[in-house]
């Protein structure tokens, strides 16, 4: 089992971009848009695509494994730098990086709990993914009770080769 968190260094879209996309000309919802809608929309697209939209977003991934002697695929790409690897609370340098920038992997010979802290991000946001964040932000704004991926954003995610429950 794997769990992970990603802490972006910057938002992929600005409040002004979201308000323009939604054709909002008032400031009554600015706090909602900047504090909730944008971070939630970005997180939804990052989790769905496995791609960090920030430059050097921090990712902490934890694997709870009974036995593992192979590769662990890092959940968010592209890999920029591995900050730290902990195997059962002990730091290790005994790992090998592999895979590709979009599908980074590490090889650790261990059957214990593994935590990897690393930086991921492309530096600039892909315009298509920025569009997906705008679509997702609009969907959250217009459908405040929903936690689903915006139907229009699903096509962008699926084009990137990710599996997505529809």
- Indicate whether 10 pLDDT > 60: yes
Q: What pLDDT does 166 receive? A: 44
Strand 79-87 with 57-63, pairing: unpaired
Where are the chain's structural domains? 2-53+123-159, 57-120
Q: What pLDDT does 125 receive? A: 86
pLDDT: which is higher, 65 or 135: 135
pLDDT: which is higher, 110 or 134: 134
Q: What pLDDT does 135 receive? A: 95
* DSSP-assigned letter for residue 149: P
- Indicate whether 67 pLDDT > 60: no
CB-CB neighbours of 128 under 10 Å: 11
State which H helix or E strand residue 92 sits in. none
CA distance 115 to 105: 13
CA distance 98 to 70: 11
State pLDDT tens for residues 83-126. Answer: 888 877 677 766 667 777 666 777 766 567 788 888 998 888 88
CB-CB neighbours of 17 under 10 Å: 16
pLDDT: which is higher, 150 or 162: 150
First to last CA, the chain: 22
Which residue in the block uniquely carries the two structure tokens 């919802």?
A: 29
The phi and psi torsions of 19 (rounded to 5 degrees) equal -65, -35
Per-residue pLDDT band for 157 (boundaries 50, 70, 90) equals confident
Q: Is 151 helix (H, G, I), strand (E, B) or coil?
A: helix
State which H helix or E strand residue 128 sits in. helix 127-142
Task: Please check whether residue 42 is in contact with residue 13, taking contact to mean a CB–CB distance below 8 angstroms.
Answer: yes
CA distance 84 to 61: 11
State pLDDT tens for residues 12-59. Answer: 999 999 999 999 999 999 999 999 999 999 999 998 888 899 888 888
């Amino acid at each position: 089992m794997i769990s992970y968190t990603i802490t972006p260094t910057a938002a992929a879209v600005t409040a002004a971009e979201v308000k323009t996309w939604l054709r909002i000309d008032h400031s009554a919802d600015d706090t909602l848009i900047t504090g909730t809608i944008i971070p939630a929309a970005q997180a939804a697209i990052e989790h769905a695509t496995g791609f960090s939209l920030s430059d050097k977003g921090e990712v902490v991934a934890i694997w709870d494994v009974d036995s593992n002697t192979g590769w662990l695929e890092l959940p968010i790409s592209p890999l920029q730098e591995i900050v730290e690897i902990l195997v059962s609370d002990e730091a290790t340098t005994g790992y090998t990086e592999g895979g590709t920038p979009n599908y980074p992997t590490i090889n650790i010979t261990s059957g214990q709990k593994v935590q990897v802290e690393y930086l991921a991000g492309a530096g600039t946001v892909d315009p298509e993914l920025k569009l997906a964040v705008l679509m997702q932000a609009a969907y959250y704004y217009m459908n405040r009770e929903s936690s689903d991926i915006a139907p229009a954003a699903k096509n962008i995610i699926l084009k990137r080769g990710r599996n997505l429950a529809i």
